[in-house]
Amino acid sequence: MRDFDLLLPESLSEAIDLLANHKDKSAVLAGGTDLLVALKFNYAVDNVISLALVPGLDELTYDPAEGLTIGAKVTIAQILKFPAVREHYPALWQAAKIFTTPQLRNTATVLGNILRASPAGDCSLALYALGGTLTLQSTSGQRQVNLDDFWISYGVTARRDDELAVSLTVPAPGAGQKSAFRRMTRTTEDLAKINAAVCLQMDGGKCTGARITMGCVGPTLIRLPKVEKMLEGADITPDLLQGISQAVASEITPIDDIRSSADYRLKVAGILVKRVINLALNEGNTP
Protein backbone atom coordinates (compact mmCIF):
# COMPACT_ATOMS: atom_id res chain seq x y z
CA MET A 1 0.00 0.00 0.00
CA ARG A 2 1.26 3.50 -0.78
CA ASP A 3 1.98 5.90 2.09
CA PHE A 4 -0.67 8.40 3.08
CA ASP A 5 -1.41 10.64 6.05
CA LEU A 6 -4.31 9.41 8.18
CA LEU A 7 -6.30 12.43 9.35
CA LEU A 8 -8.67 11.95 12.30
CA PRO A 9 -11.04 14.93 12.61
CA GLU A 10 -13.11 15.03 15.80
CA SER A 11 -16.02 17.12 14.52
CA LEU A 12 -18.03 17.50 11.32
CA SER A 13 -16.73 21.03 10.76
CA GLU A 14 -13.13 19.81 11.14
CA ALA A 15 -13.77 17.02 8.61
CA ILE A 16 -15.30 19.51 6.14
CA ASP A 17 -12.38 21.92 6.58
CA LEU A 18 -9.90 19.12 5.91
CA LEU A 19 -11.79 18.18 2.74
CA ALA A 20 -11.78 21.83 1.63
CA ASN A 21 -8.03 22.06 2.18
CA HIS A 22 -7.06 18.77 0.54
CA LYS A 23 -9.83 18.25 -2.08
CA ASP A 24 -8.70 15.83 -4.81
CA LYS A 25 -5.60 14.83 -2.83
CA SER A 26 -7.77 13.15 -0.20
CA ALA A 27 -10.29 10.37 0.30
CA VAL A 28 -12.94 9.87 2.98
CA LEU A 29 -12.66 6.66 5.01
CA ALA A 30 -15.94 5.27 6.38
CA GLY A 31 -15.74 1.46 6.82
CA GLY A 32 -12.75 1.24 4.49
CA THR A 33 -13.86 -2.03 2.89
CA ASP A 34 -13.63 -0.51 -0.60
CA LEU A 35 -11.15 2.28 0.02
CA LEU A 36 -8.40 0.17 1.61
CA VAL A 37 -8.62 -2.37 -1.19
CA ALA A 38 -8.34 0.44 -3.76
CA LEU A 39 -5.35 1.95 -1.93
CA LYS A 40 -3.57 -1.39 -2.13
CA PHE A 41 -3.92 -1.40 -5.89
CA ASN A 42 -4.06 1.52 -8.29
CA TYR A 43 -5.56 4.34 -6.19
CA ALA A 44 -3.24 6.95 -4.65
CA VAL A 45 -4.12 9.85 -2.36
CA ASP A 46 -1.96 11.87 0.02
CA ASN A 47 -4.54 12.10 2.81
CA VAL A 48 -7.17 9.72 4.16
CA ILE A 49 -9.81 11.53 6.21
CA SER A 50 -11.35 9.05 8.63
CA LEU A 51 -14.89 9.48 9.97
CA ALA A 52 -14.09 7.28 12.99
CA LEU A 53 -13.98 10.09 15.56
CA VAL A 54 -16.60 12.37 13.95
CA PRO A 55 -19.75 12.44 16.11
CA GLY A 56 -23.30 12.91 14.80
CA LEU A 57 -23.13 10.67 11.72
CA ASP A 58 -24.83 7.65 13.32
CA GLU A 59 -28.47 8.63 12.80
CA LEU A 60 -30.77 5.78 11.81
CA THR A 61 -34.38 6.84 12.21
CA TYR A 62 -37.79 6.14 10.68
CA ASP A 63 -40.71 8.52 10.71
CA PRO A 64 -44.04 7.59 9.02
CA ALA A 65 -44.20 11.05 7.38
CA GLU A 66 -40.52 11.80 6.74
CA GLY A 67 -39.32 8.27 5.93
CA LEU A 68 -35.94 6.72 6.67
CA THR A 69 -32.76 8.66 7.48
CA ILE A 70 -29.38 6.92 7.29
CA GLY A 71 -26.27 8.70 8.58
CA ALA A 72 -22.82 8.36 7.02
CA LYS A 73 -21.55 5.92 9.65
CA VAL A 74 -24.54 3.55 9.67
CA THR A 75 -23.36 0.04 8.83
CA ILE A 76 -25.07 -2.69 6.84
CA ALA A 77 -25.44 -4.68 10.11
CA GLN A 78 -27.36 -1.81 11.72
CA ILE A 79 -29.73 -1.68 8.73
CA LEU A 80 -30.38 -5.40 9.08
CA LYS A 81 -31.25 -5.04 12.76
CA PHE A 82 -33.50 -1.99 12.37
CA PRO A 83 -37.15 -3.22 12.47
CA ALA A 84 -38.53 -0.33 10.36
CA VAL A 85 -36.27 -1.31 7.44
CA ARG A 86 -37.54 -4.88 7.51
CA GLU A 87 -41.13 -3.73 7.77
CA HIS A 88 -41.23 -0.79 5.35
CA TYR A 89 -38.28 -1.25 2.95
CA PRO A 90 -37.96 -5.01 2.27
CA ALA A 91 -35.75 -4.44 -0.80
CA LEU A 92 -33.12 -2.73 1.37
CA TRP A 93 -33.43 -5.33 4.12
CA GLN A 94 -33.00 -8.16 1.61
CA ALA A 95 -29.92 -6.45 0.09
CA ALA A 96 -28.40 -6.06 3.57
CA LYS A 97 -29.22 -9.68 4.43
CA ILE A 98 -27.18 -11.17 1.58
CA PHE A 99 -24.36 -8.63 1.92
CA THR A 100 -21.29 -10.86 2.20
CA THR A 101 -20.02 -11.82 5.70
CA PRO A 102 -20.81 -10.64 9.28
CA GLN A 103 -17.35 -9.02 9.52
CA LEU A 104 -18.00 -6.95 6.40
CA ARG A 105 -21.57 -6.10 7.44
CA ASN A 106 -20.28 -4.78 10.77
CA THR A 107 -17.73 -2.55 9.04
CA ALA A 108 -19.16 -1.46 5.68
CA THR A 109 -21.49 1.53 5.58
CA VAL A 110 -24.56 2.08 3.43
CA LEU A 111 -23.34 5.49 2.30
CA GLY A 112 -19.92 4.02 1.45
CA ASN A 113 -21.74 1.59 -0.83
CA ILE A 114 -23.44 4.52 -2.58
CA LEU A 115 -20.28 6.68 -2.76
CA ARG A 116 -18.22 3.83 -4.22
CA ALA A 117 -20.47 4.06 -7.30
CA SER A 118 -19.97 0.43 -8.20
CA PRO A 119 -22.34 -0.92 -10.87
CA ALA A 120 -22.75 -3.97 -8.60
CA GLY A 121 -23.59 -2.28 -5.24
CA ASP A 122 -26.35 -4.25 -3.52
CA CYS A 123 -27.76 -1.75 -0.99
CA SER A 124 -27.27 1.07 -3.52
CA LEU A 125 -29.41 -0.83 -6.02
CA ALA A 126 -32.22 -1.42 -3.52
CA LEU A 127 -32.11 2.25 -2.49
CA TYR A 128 -32.17 3.34 -6.14
CA ALA A 129 -35.45 1.43 -6.57
CA LEU A 130 -36.88 2.84 -3.31
CA GLY A 131 -35.74 6.37 -4.19
CA GLY A 132 -33.50 8.48 -1.99
CA THR A 133 -31.82 11.82 -1.56
CA LEU A 134 -28.25 12.35 -0.37
CA THR A 135 -27.24 15.34 1.71
CA LEU A 136 -23.75 16.57 0.82
CA GLN A 137 -21.96 19.10 2.99
CA SER A 138 -19.01 21.38 2.29
CA THR A 139 -17.71 24.65 3.72
CA SER A 140 -20.24 26.44 1.47
CA GLY A 141 -23.20 24.64 3.07
CA GLN A 142 -25.44 21.66 2.29
CA ARG A 143 -27.05 20.51 -0.93
CA GLN A 144 -29.32 17.60 -1.76
CA VAL A 145 -28.81 15.24 -4.69
CA ASN A 146 -31.39 12.66 -5.73
CA LEU A 147 -29.98 9.18 -6.35
CA ASP A 148 -31.51 9.44 -9.85
CA ASP A 149 -28.86 12.08 -10.62
CA PHE A 150 -25.98 10.77 -8.52
CA TRP A 151 -24.14 8.02 -10.44
CA ILE A 152 -22.65 9.56 -13.57
CA SER A 153 -20.32 6.88 -14.94
CA TYR A 154 -18.19 4.02 -13.60
CA GLY A 155 -16.88 5.15 -10.19
CA VAL A 156 -17.88 8.76 -10.89
CA THR A 157 -20.58 10.58 -8.90
CA ALA A 158 -22.12 14.04 -8.62
CA ARG A 159 -20.21 14.58 -5.34
CA ARG A 160 -17.63 17.36 -5.51
CA ASP A 161 -14.15 16.73 -4.04
CA ASP A 162 -14.77 19.04 -1.10
CA GLU A 163 -18.10 17.45 -0.11
CA LEU A 164 -18.86 14.93 2.60
CA ALA A 165 -22.00 12.82 2.28
CA VAL A 166 -23.63 13.21 5.67
CA SER A 167 -26.92 11.31 5.26
CA LEU A 168 -29.46 9.74 2.94
CA THR A 169 -33.23 10.04 3.24
CA VAL A 170 -35.64 7.55 1.71
CA PRO A 171 -39.30 8.56 1.34
CA ALA A 172 -41.93 6.93 3.53
CA PRO A 173 -43.70 4.15 1.62
CA GLY A 174 -47.24 4.79 0.36
CA ALA A 175 -50.09 2.40 1.33
CA GLY A 176 -49.66 -0.08 -1.52
CA GLN A 177 -45.86 -0.02 -1.83
CA LYS A 178 -44.15 -3.37 -2.41
CA SER A 179 -40.44 -3.83 -2.91
CA ALA A 180 -37.89 -6.61 -3.31
CA PHE A 181 -34.23 -7.28 -4.17
CA ARG A 182 -32.39 -10.37 -5.42
CA ARG A 183 -28.95 -11.10 -6.83
CA MET A 184 -27.12 -13.97 -8.47
CA THR A 185 -23.59 -14.70 -7.24
CA ARG A 186 -20.97 -17.41 -7.25
CA THR A 187 -20.69 -17.46 -3.44
CA THR A 188 -22.23 -15.25 -0.75
CA GLU A 189 -18.82 -13.62 -0.15
CA ASP A 190 -18.63 -12.49 -3.76
CA LEU A 191 -20.09 -9.44 -5.48
CA ALA A 192 -23.15 -9.97 -7.68
CA LYS A 193 -22.92 -11.40 -11.18
CA ILE A 194 -26.19 -9.56 -11.71
CA ASN A 195 -28.73 -7.99 -9.33
CA ALA A 196 -32.19 -6.41 -9.54
CA ALA A 197 -34.55 -4.47 -7.30
CA VAL A 198 -38.13 -3.29 -7.73
CA CYS A 199 -40.43 -0.87 -5.97
CA LEU A 200 -44.07 -1.07 -7.04
CA GLN A 201 -47.01 1.11 -6.04
CA MET A 202 -50.01 -1.21 -6.09
CA ASP A 203 -53.73 -0.44 -6.00
CA GLY A 204 -55.24 -3.90 -5.64
CA GLY A 205 -53.93 -5.90 -8.61
CA LYS A 206 -53.09 -2.75 -10.61
CA CYS A 207 -49.64 -1.21 -10.65
CA THR A 208 -49.81 2.59 -10.43
CA GLY A 209 -46.07 3.28 -10.36
CA ALA A 210 -42.85 1.28 -10.76
CA ARG A 211 -39.12 1.74 -10.29
CA ILE A 212 -37.06 -1.17 -11.62
CA THR A 213 -33.28 -1.13 -11.15
CA MET A 214 -30.50 -3.48 -12.27
CA GLY A 215 -26.81 -3.83 -11.51
CA CYS A 216 -23.84 -5.41 -13.35
CA VAL A 217 -25.44 -4.68 -16.73
CA GLY A 218 -23.81 -1.33 -17.56
CA PRO A 219 -21.16 1.12 -16.29
CA THR A 220 -23.51 2.33 -13.52
CA LEU A 221 -26.57 0.97 -11.79
CA ILE A 222 -29.48 1.56 -14.16
CA ARG A 223 -33.27 1.93 -14.21
CA LEU A 224 -35.34 0.13 -16.85
CA PRO A 225 -37.70 2.86 -18.19
CA LYS A 226 -39.40 0.67 -20.83
CA VAL A 227 -40.21 -2.00 -18.27
CA GLU A 228 -41.42 0.63 -15.81
CA LYS A 229 -43.79 1.97 -18.53
CA MET A 230 -45.10 -1.54 -19.26
CA LEU A 231 -46.01 -1.89 -15.58
CA GLU A 232 -47.50 1.54 -14.94
CA GLY A 233 -51.31 1.45 -15.07
CA ALA A 234 -51.36 -2.29 -15.82
CA ASP A 235 -52.75 -5.34 -14.06
CA ILE A 236 -49.76 -7.58 -13.38
CA THR A 237 -50.70 -10.79 -15.18
CA PRO A 238 -48.54 -13.79 -16.18
CA ASP A 239 -48.69 -12.54 -19.80
CA LEU A 240 -47.43 -9.09 -18.81
CA LEU A 241 -44.59 -10.64 -16.80
CA GLN A 242 -43.64 -12.79 -19.79
CA GLY A 243 -43.52 -9.67 -22.00
CA ILE A 244 -41.44 -7.83 -19.40
CA SER A 245 -39.03 -10.73 -19.12
CA GLN A 246 -38.44 -10.54 -22.88
CA ALA A 247 -38.13 -6.73 -22.92
CA VAL A 248 -35.38 -6.48 -20.27
CA ALA A 249 -32.55 -7.55 -22.59
CA SER A 250 -33.20 -4.54 -24.86
CA GLU A 251 -32.51 -2.14 -21.99
CA ILE A 252 -29.16 -3.44 -20.75
CA THR A 253 -25.57 -3.39 -22.05
CA PRO A 254 -23.65 -5.99 -20.03
CA ILE A 255 -19.99 -6.85 -20.65
CA ASP A 256 -17.76 -9.88 -20.02
CA ASP A 257 -15.78 -9.52 -16.78
CA ILE A 258 -14.24 -11.70 -14.09
CA ARG A 259 -17.60 -12.48 -12.50
CA SER A 260 -19.70 -13.36 -15.52
CA SER A 261 -20.21 -13.03 -19.25
CA ALA A 262 -22.35 -10.59 -21.23
CA ASP A 263 -24.13 -13.57 -22.79
CA TYR A 264 -25.11 -15.08 -19.41
CA ARG A 265 -26.27 -11.73 -18.08
CA LEU A 266 -28.40 -11.09 -21.18
CA LYS A 267 -29.99 -14.52 -20.81
CA VAL A 268 -30.84 -14.32 -17.10
CA ALA A 269 -31.70 -10.62 -16.70
CA GLY A 270 -35.34 -10.94 -17.78
CA ILE A 271 -35.90 -13.99 -15.60
CA LEU A 272 -34.39 -12.20 -12.60
CA VAL A 273 -36.61 -9.12 -13.06
CA LYS A 274 -39.71 -11.31 -13.35
CA ARG A 275 -38.75 -13.17 -10.17
CA VAL A 276 -38.12 -9.98 -8.22
CA ILE A 277 -41.50 -8.54 -9.27
CA ASN A 278 -43.20 -11.77 -8.13
CA LEU A 279 -41.25 -11.66 -4.88
CA ALA A 280 -42.38 -8.09 -4.18
CA LEU A 281 -46.01 -8.96 -4.95
CA ASN A 282 -46.13 -12.22 -3.06
CA GLU A 283 -44.06 -11.37 -0.01
CA GLY A 284 -44.95 -7.67 0.01
CA ASN A 285 -43.60 -6.08 3.13
CA THR A 286 -42.95 -9.32 4.98
CA PRO A 287 -39.52 -10.53 3.76
112 binding ligand FAD? (CB under 6 A): yes
31 binding ligand FAD? (CB under 6 A): yes
Closest CA to 7 of 16, 160, 38: 16
Stretch binding ligand FAD (CB under 6 A), from 105-113, 226-234, 257-265, 266-274: 105-113
52 binding ligand FAD? (CB under 6 A): no
Whose Cβ is closer to ligand FAD: residue 54's or residue 268's?
Answer: 54
229-241 burial by CB neighbour count: b if 16+ within 10 A, else e?
ebbeebebeeebb
How near is the Cβ of 193 to ligand FAD at its closest, in Å?
12
Measured distance CA(247)–CA(270) in Å, rounded: 7
Q: Cβ(22)–Cβ(46) under 8 Å?
A: yes
Whose Cβ is closer to ligand FAD: residue 112's or residue 173's?
Answer: 112
Stretch binding ligand FAD (CB under 6 A), from 59-67, 109-117, 199-207, 216-224: 109-117
134 — phi, psi (to 5°)? -90, 140
266 — phi, psi (to 5°)? -60, -35
210 binding ligand FAD? (CB under 6 A): no
Measured from each CB, the residue nearest to ligand FAD is 112
Closest CA to 204 of 176, 229, 232, 231: 176
Per CB under 6 A, residues contacting ligand FAD are 27-35, 37, 72, 99-100, 104, 108-109, 111-113, 115-116, 121-122, 164-165, 189, 191
